[in-house]
Structure 1
């Protein structure tokens, strides 16, 4: 049995069999509680859209296997074998790993197997492999060198190893390897280990292996710190135990013994720290990239668009994605919340150029509303107008209009770290204005430009030991939306199918509205309140169609205006 999982079964002395059954029942109950907490954690991850960013499946599977073993054990006859198996339960170790995770920040993985000499092996979340020449002599061992990290936390910056080894077990391991305490009656005597200076003691070997593996990874340019959690070890009792702990520290590990450990918070208290909602980390003002500006006015985001024969594959894919999850109510509206919104002049200019070139009348109208072309309109007035052009509810808290700013507003570029010079060298003028403005102001940049974000991160990863404050705050939207665009020439009339429309007629508009309600109800798990139970008034639809016609003619009007 692995010493890190060592457990002890308390008995009542007289009736060992009854005591064993009682403990098995207790273990089974605790295992079910652990499963329940893991499920709550999974639901929390799903709620904050981070389910794919935290690796807990293997740990959960291990706990479920333990539950199965305990339930089978309860059905077995009371005998010495039952007692022995109960004594070997892995649950106390699993509980300690979970308790450690609940005390930690930004958990990214539990019980992760890390291969530190092979780039082909899977890497842990948020970590970058830099390669390592192993000291292992056998080439096969070098290639497959691996360690198991019980918890990876702090966005990959902390690796935690848990061991339930006791002082007694450590002394037993020492005796097994061979050691002497010269002049053992002398309190100041030096502890002398065998030929390997204690490196063959399992806990020391684990510490050395973990620290060696950590050297081959970087989390935001920094080497992960190795933490060794030893809740059952009491330092200061014997020189031999203290010498082992010193060897672990000499290897590079930070050691926490029983007396050093903090109390475990409740799961509800721990969740926001274990896995914080990315939106809660946003700055007060959000910097909106051109890609998001386009998504906020796209026909794909606001209306039911059917696939057209002239759509290229990316547009067809966007129709499919939007059919499964509506971008605005599911992601962008919650992300923006009540934050003030800004964009650089360059981003606004490029967005308008695209809308003017390929935008539909509805996309043009939404652009005028979102950017506040009519300065006389209030925020609430803009929300109401935007609602005329959307199949989904436009939240009243959306801070329209988006304010256009200079990329060096307030001299913000002077706040940039020196690393930004090399990182921005290959960016286009638009991307440079967007990302450097957000970086210099400390504002969170909202973008779906994965290529630029990944290149920026890759360029920063080339540096060593960067401070956390150097990194820009960026939220990468997992999906993008383009404008619908205009039909390609040469498409025969009979090939055309119903697709995007400038503005739906009453029947189409009502169908679009009800479809949005159905999608929202399906996602929420209950019927969503219909804020327009009587549908859309015909006069409102006709008024909007007139506005759309005027937009086609001169591009100067917005929905809701009366004809002169």
Structure 2
């Protein structure tokens, strides 16, 4: 018995529409789960870290979330279109059935669709194609790799330039009542887009969605001949040194806005990331560059293996064949997961969250600026009522302190469990300020921190109890008191004598006052971390090192951690400079 072509077409089209409906539902659910995880991660950051005055958050993820939210809107629009198609098809079938009843006759066999049928089929096919081409697959891979392989995340979807000035953060100087600075000119043709910045800034990750067939097609299209032992000399540089060790140099004209029609996309991407990394310094070093290509398989196609080896020769690590979830496949447990149920326990926060104290030394050198913050009433007393006698800077610090207490959010995490020292010059200046404008409680805290005066001879536990008695915040048991006072000049002179400092030391000493000389050079000589809120001096030191680096890629300066804000002593009069 023959079948009715119209019935077959209806069955096929109905199945297609059902497939589109199921796929829309699955992808929308997946997208909402992804957003829920991102929001949970963002909330964890907000609850653990202080907001920087010049940055939205310690971790930049606005663009990534925006892309996922945009994808959700697109999927919801496709779902709406699919529902409209279902309704339109149902209405059409209803009219047909009514017509049949009116004519009281059986459906006639037809050789195909009418124009309306063809239009519906084309629209359904477009929806299926758009769903299958969704960028959600890449965004999910990116987030999965971030969770599994990227500790200490500080940024997603960030652009870096190989014009060094363009990489410097733009700071609005109106806050300092100075002339507004112009942001640097940024040419995107001279930049690399990094998917994940992690390792507390020291590592860059790029996720490539290229697959084997696409790469081989591109190689054939661009005339790559990799059967011979020799590689194309146009991208076989020499003698570039990065943290990964020996690697090749990059042609000076590569990526300078011209078109490299013979270059493979994967190699161009590696080139650009390396060039941008060379123009960027994080704690005096260029970031390490990594690429993950989940859809490529190493050891299968010799031509692809040679491309991977070329990329590695530039100092880039590239990893292939990473198994990732296929968002188009059915996963009952995942499909039934409620986005509202996502909690911090569902994410590997212990590794994902940035840790600015990860590479801290066991001994910490405390600058005068933070010694003052440690004794200030502003740091220890809650609910301080603003007074007309307070300098505007004091009022602003009270507001900031109410939002995020300095001790618990920054200083205790940096200090607890470590031996604390300060230089004679730093403590002398701190005492001068305290004795001049400090309150009685600020003077007492100074004695406690140093174990002097009435506090002399007390052990650590007794000093902590004394400090707790005049503080509204919990004093950690692991805080090591008293702070040791060291002879900085003896250590610095010995380092000078044995040439422990690089030649740039002569230029750095020219820009330092006596107190900054003792503080920062002592930490440098001992190779220990110095903590300070003196951003101006630290930036001068870093700029001097970079300006005099030359070809020395391994040149490093003192290890310094900058506290975002400090605290003044509350005793400042209104007309006194902060």
TM-score over 0.5 (shorter chain): yes
Asked whether the 8 Å contact 2:159–2:194 carries over to 1, the reply is yes
Work out which of the residue numbers 254, 278, 283 in structure 1 matches 2:356.
Answer: 278
Whole-angstrom CA distance in 1 between matches of 2:260 and 2:479: 65
Work out which of the residue numbers 486, 489, 496 in structure 2 matches 1:405.
Answer: 486
Unaligned runs of 5+ in 2: 1-13, 52-56, 87-123, 172-184, 235-258, 325-343
Other-structure match for 2:35:
35
Other-structure match for 2:218:
173
Work out which of the residue numbers 432, 443, 457 in structure 2 matches 1:376.
Answer: 457
| Correspondence list, 1:440-519, <5 A | 440-462=525-547, 463=549, 470-485=556-571, 487=573
Report the TM-score, using the length of structure 1 for normalisation.
0.68
Work out which of the residue numbers 497, 501, 515 in structure 2 matches 1:417.
Answer: 501
The Cα of 1:35 is off from its aligned counterpart by: 2.0
- Residues 93, 310 of structure 1: alpha-carbon distance in 2 compared, 3 angstrom cutoff: same
Whole-angstrom CA distance in 1 between matches of 2:567 and 2:274: 44
Whole-angstrom CA distance in 2 between matches of 1:393 and 1:248: 52
Q: Per-residue CA shift, 1:165-193, capped at 9, x if unaligned? A: 21112233345x354879xxxx8799999
- Residues 379, 213 of structure 1: alpha-carbon distance in 2 compared, 3 angstrom cutoff: closer
- Residues 381, 236 of structure 1: alpha-carbon distance in 2 compared, 3 angstrom cutoff: closer
The Cα of 1:105 is off from its aligned counterpart by: 4.0
3-state DSSP of counterpart to 1:232: coil
- Residues 296, 244 of structure 1: alpha-carbon distance in 2 compared, 3 angstrom cutoff: closer
Other-structure match for 1:108:
154
Asked whether the 8 Å contact 1:220–1:461 carries over to 2, the reply is no
Work out which of the residue numbers 277, 284, 293 in structure 2 matches 1:230.
Answer: 293
Asked whether the 8 Å contact 2:274–2:289 carries over to 1, the reply is yes
Is 1:357 the counterpart of 2:436 in the alignment? yes
Q: Per-residue CA shift, 1:148-174, capped at 9, x if unaligned? A: 222233454443332222111223334
3-state DSSP of counterpart to 2:374: helix
- Residues 17, 235 of structure 1: alpha-carbon distance in 2 compared, 3 angstrom cutoff: farther
Other-structure match for 2:365:
287
Asked whether the 8 Å contact 1:289–1:446 carries over to 2, the reply is yes
How many correspondences in the alignment?
454
Other-structure match for 1:430:
515
Asked whether the 8 Å contact 2:368–2:427 carries over to 1, the reply is yes
Q: Per-residue CA shift, 1:233-278, capped at 9, x if unaligned? A: 23454455445545655776543322799xxxx9978544443322
3-state DSSP of counterpart to 1:60: helix
Asked whether the 8 Å contact 1:413–1:437 carries over to 2, the reply is no
Whole-angstrom CA distance in 2 between matches of 1:38 and 1:57: 10
Q: Per-residue CA shift, 1:188-238, capped at 9, x if unaligned? A: 7999999x9972543344344444444544444544444332211234544
| Correspondence list, 1:69-148, <5 A | 69-75=74-80, 76-77=82-83, 79-102=124-147, 103-117=149-163, 119=165, 145-148=190-193
- Residues 24, 123 of structure 1: alpha-carbon distance in 2 compared, 3 angstrom cutoff: farther
- Residues 466, 286 of structure 1: alpha-carbon distance in 2 compared, 3 angstrom cutoff: farther
Asked whether the 8 Å contact 2:529–2:559 carries over to 1, the reply is yes
Work out which of the residue numbers 291, 298, 311 in structure 1 matches 2:390.
Answer: 311
Other-structure match for 1:328:
407
Report the TM-score, using the length of structure 2 for normalisation.
0.66
Whole-angstrom CA distance in 2 between matches of 1:398 and 1:255: 43
Work out which of the residue numbers 174, 193, 199 in structure 1 matches 2:262.
Answer: 199
- Residues 123, 453 of structure 1: alpha-carbon distance in 2 compared, 3 angstrom cutoff: closer
- Residues 470, 25 of structure 1: alpha-carbon distance in 2 compared, 3 angstrom cutoff: same
Whole-angstrom CA distance in 2 between matches of 1:41 and 1:412: 47
The Cα of 1:55 is off from its aligned counterpart by: 1.7
Other-structure match for 1:495:
none
The Cα of 1:57 is off from its aligned counterpart by: 0.9
Q: Per-residue CA shift, 1:262-316, capped at 9, x if unaligned? A: xxxx997854444332234432232221111112222322335444444333233
The Cα of 1:481 is off from its aligned counterpart by: 1.6
Whole-angstrom CA distance in 1 between matches of 2:574 and 2:42: 46
- Residues 124, 74 of structure 1: alpha-carbon distance in 2 compared, 3 angstrom cutoff: farther
Q: Per-residue CA shift, 1:531-551, capped at 9, x if unaligned? A: xxxxxxxxxxxxxxxxxxxxx
The Cα of 1:33 is off from its aligned counterpart by: 3.0
- Residues 212, 124 of structure 1: alpha-carbon distance in 2 compared, 3 angstrom cutoff: farther
- Residues 348, 209 of structure 1: alpha-carbon distance in 2 compared, 3 angstrom cutoff: closer
| Correspondence list, 1:549-560, <5 A | none
3-state DSSP of counterpart to 1:111: strand
Asked whether the 8 Å contact 1:37–1:267 carries over to 2, the reply is no
The Cα of 1:24 is off from its aligned counterpart by: 3.9
- Residues 159, 360 of structure 1: alpha-carbon distance in 2 compared, 3 angstrom cutoff: closer
Whole-angstrom CA distance in 2 between matches of 1:115 and 1:411: 37
Aligned-residue Cα RMSD (Å) equals 4.2
Asked whether the 8 Å contact 1:287–1:343 carries over to 2, the reply is yes
Asked whether the 8 Å contact 2:365–2:519 carries over to 1, the reply is yes
Unaligned runs of 5+ in 1: 1-13, 126-139, 490-564
3-state DSSP of counterpart to 1:400: coil
Other-structure match for 1:149:
194
- Residues 278, 114 of structure 1: alpha-carbon distance in 2 compared, 3 angstrom cutoff: closer
Structure of higher RCO (CA pairs closer than 8 Å, 6+ residues apart): 2
Asked whether the 8 Å contact 2:206–2:292 carries over to 1, the reply is yes
Q: Which sits farther off after the overlay, 88-97 or 472-481?
A: 472-481
Whole-angstrom CA distance in 2 between matches of 1:204 and 1:272: 34
- Residues 409, 23 of structure 1: alpha-carbon distance in 2 compared, 3 angstrom cutoff: farther
Q: Per-residue CA shift, 1:445-492, capped at 9, x if unaligned? A: 222212222222222223257677944332211112222336589xxx
Whole-angstrom CA distance in 2 between matches of 1:309 and 1:388: 28
- Residues 435, 180 of structure 1: alpha-carbon distance in 2 compared, 3 angstrom cutoff: closer
Whole-angstrom CA distance in 2 between matches of 1:329 and 1:241: 52
Whole-angstrom CA distance in 2 between matches of 1:259 and 1:369: 55
